[in-house]
Structure 1
Amino acid sequence: MKAIRFPLVAILVVVSGVALLTGCTASSTGEIDNPVLRRATWIDFISAGDIRQNCRPGAAERIRFVLNANRAEQVRIYDLNAANETLRIRVLTPKQRIDEIRLDNSITRFFNPSDMTVRLSERDTALILSAYRKDLAAPRSELPSELLTEWHFWLVGACLDGKFTYDAWVNPGRDFLALTFPENLLRRDISNIPLNLPPGERLTIRDYNPERQQGYDHYILHLREDRVILGQNYGLDKSK
């Protein structure tokens, strides 16, 4: 049977159109393979909504670490399950553009993150938990209320001792640089995808450059006590 071929642009239009109809407010199951569902549930996913919903006394200790290393360039997700002693590693990066996709393969695989799971020792699990607890308890010099998706920042949602916590650390800043949990995660990262290094200074909307956007919308995230809320998109006209 001859494979049916569709232009990539047409597929992207369908994917984007369906996602926009959802309003990006759907609840996440913790999975992000499907590009349509990922767009629809992304804010709840990076808010660790699935962990928050199941967090109660006696629940397994779970943490979702999200490193937004400029949304248009790289997002790294680390899911720690202390009960199973596993660390799931997912990395989203821009995919190489192609003119056509064959329907005899999985269409969505071109949009999937790199996805792998590491089996941890009891000691490794304890080290990650200990580092995060230490960072969470450390005095803060800055408590961000808004985040731009061009920035480099950590979002962390955790169910520890039956209670859900959510926090953010933004680069550059003393709090971000003082974190100890990133080293523990990166030392166990087997993705072989280099870390997208942060810039030396924090960009503002006035610094927005559409040539760096790489086909991605950038937007403002509003940080709340237990999640982030999607704010407005921003572009070149917002700097005038």
Structure 2
Amino acid sequence: MVYHSRMAILFAALAALAGCSYKGGDIGDPFHRKFHWASFVKGEDIAQTCDASAPDRFRLVYNAIWGEQVRVYEWDSIRESLRIRVVGGGNLRDMTLGDPLAAWRAAEASVPLDRTARDGLVRALAEAKAFGPPAVGLELPSRSYYWASASCYQGRFTFTGWAYPSVEFDAARFPAALFAQDPGRDTVRPPAAIPMDVMYEYDKRRGAVMEFTLRVDAPVLGK
């Protein structure tokens, strides 16, 4: 009983730490991710530097059930490259004595992204209303499928999201455009109904798994 109580406290603490402000650093590192994930997804670091003189920056996150697969896509209007990071559920076979956290580190890739491809992605995001009024109040649970977008576009910061299942999620064209650039596109987990998992529910009740929900808030005046 004492062990389970300590586990519950630990996961509650990690959930709170996930809200710490992200100011840069390796989000692919599992410890850094635990501390700063919510702030990273919401693009708080992008918001801090977004003004009329800032380059356009884009951060798209595809959550295909936290702990199973999360994909991060980032690019800007300066570098002609797309940075991709994929976080899986952790394969214990990847652990080594030199790096015991290797199983939970993000796999990274960088692919060329020319002006035509960048413009196409921006158009697809605009069609999906990524730069318009955000979907205020939309909840993005970790144990679900969703897209989140944090961007500084034409000097204006926006954070919004698309939850599955929804008309907006299905209509968005930017996911297909991003996956087309992704060398690991064959491993992308498509959205689906989440089946009942008895062992997961058991672990959840005893505090052995972490769940959290991100929320799209109203934009701060002046941003």
The reply on whether 1:211 has 2:199 as its aligned counterpart is yes
Residue 49 (1) aligns with residue 44 (2): yes
Q: Distance in 2 between matches of 1:21 and 1:42?
A: 10
Q: 1:171 to 1:123 in 2, by over 3 A?
A: same
Cα deviation for residue 33 of structure 1 reads 2.7
Give TM-score, length-normalised by structure 2: 0.79
Following the alignment from structure 2 to structure 1, what is the Cα–Cα distance between the partners of residues 15 and 84?
Answer: 29
Other-structure match for 1:10: none
**2:212 aligns to what SS in structure 1?**
strand
2-structure distance, mates of 1:99, 1:118: 24
Is the Cα–Cα contact under 8 Å of residues 124 and 174 in structure 2 kept in the other structure? yes
Opposite residue 38 of structure 2, the aligned amino acid is I
Inter-CA distance 221–22: structure 2 relative to 1 (3 Å threshold) = closer
Gaps of 5+ in 1: 1-12, 228-240
Structure 2: state its 5+ residue gaps.
Answer: 1-6
2:104 to 100, 108, 111: 111
Give the match for residue 121 of structure 1: 114
Which structure has more strand as a fraction of its residues?
Answer: 1
Say if 1:151 and 1:22 are closer, same or farther in 2 by CA, change over 3 A. Answer: closer
Task: Answer yes or no: is the 8 Å Cα contact 1:61–1:81 preserved in 2.
Answer: yes
Partner residue, 1:9: none
The answer to whether 1:38 aligns with 2:26 is no
Q: Match for 1:31: what amino acid?
A: D
State the alpha-carbon separation in 2 of the partners of residues 21 and 67 from structure 1.
Answer: 19
Residue type at the aligned position of 1:24 = A
Change (3 A) 1:158 1:217: same
Aligned to 2:169: 176
Indicate the percent of aligned positions where both proteins have the same amino acid. Answer: 25
The answer as to whether partners of 1:47 and 1:226 remain within 8 angstroms in 2 is no
Q: CA deviation at 1:127?
A: 0.7
> Which residue number in structure 2 is paired with residue 26 of structure 1?
20
Map of 1:155 onto structure 2: 148
Q: TM-score, normalised by structure 1?
A: 0.74
Q: Give how far 1:30 is off.
A: 5.5
